[in-house]
Amino acid sequence: MKQQQRILKTLDRVLSKAGAGSRTEARSWIGNGRVKVNGKLVQTPDHWVDVARDTVTLDGKPLTQAERRYVLLYKPKGYLTTYRDPQHRPTVYDLVPGLGQFVGTVGRLDLDTSGLLLLTNDNGLAEAITNPEHKIPKTYLVKASTLLSDEQLDQLERGVELSDGVTRPAVVKRVRDSGKYTFLEITIMEGRNRQVRRMLEAVNSKVLKLVRTRLGSLTLEGLQIGKWRELTKAEVAGLRKTAGAKRKS
């Protein structure tokens, strides 16, 4: 009989992946003596847990997998994509009160970027979407600081040299020129840090405004800025198919 491979994860990660809370919260709970493994108090967040054999309890209650939640948020500019900020600046979690359970952000949008942000506690799907090998398309509406020539747009489309390598080919469309600015739509198949901003800088321009309008098959249609909604079952299935994610129990 083939021996089953052991799946080991750190205790804080086990709590987070179960949807109990963020890893920061989990580390705090562990340090405060609220977590036991197989009936024994463990106060080390990096303690290894065999997820198939070990029993984890939080406040004396067995850890169970939380209900899967999928939240689509229209993030405004000025909100951080993080759970808590040491400087007490607003975060996207201020916009989704009352969910009743923790959901993590799928990727990030920087402080000055608005648009579509997905939050979920389905870690398998989140990891599939953010995996660069799966090439999930992300579409942005950009206001450039200059008028861009067709040659500059072609450069963006073919790929530009960044500090971390040449970008993959993109889909670039000129929306309109207005005064001294070009508005364009760009779809990329990767998600490097501040990638669209750095791409514009690579063609001697800058981003003045950046809005993510699409992630895979998801769009912002019908959603007001600062508002959120749950995904439909069809939308979840579509995302799962696009990302090649397998359903996990």
The two tokens of residue 169 are 């080919």
The Cα–Cα gap between 105 and 57 comes to 25
Region label for 115, one of left (φ > 0), alpha (ψ between -120 and 50) or beta (otherwise): left
Q: Please identify which residue in the block is written with the tokens 């912002």.
A: 220
Could you tell me if 94 and 79 are in contact, meaning their C-beta atoms sit under 8 angstroms apart? yes
Q: Which residues of 149-187 are buried (b: 16+ CB within 10 A; e: fewer)?
A: eeebbebbbeebebeeeebeebebeeeeeeeebbbbbbe
**Distance in angstroms (rounded) separating the CA atoms of residues 14 and 84:** 20
DSSP string, 173-209: EEEEEETTEEEEEEEES---TTHHHHHHHHTT--EEE
3-state percent breakdown (helix, strand, coil) of the chain, nearest 5: 25, 30, 45
**110 carries an active-site annotation:** yes
Question: What is the token pair recorded at 61?
Answer: 């209650």
Catalytic residue among 110, 112, 164, 177: 110
Q: Beta strands 171-178 and 70-75: pairing type?
A: unpaired
Catalytic positions, written as ranges: 110
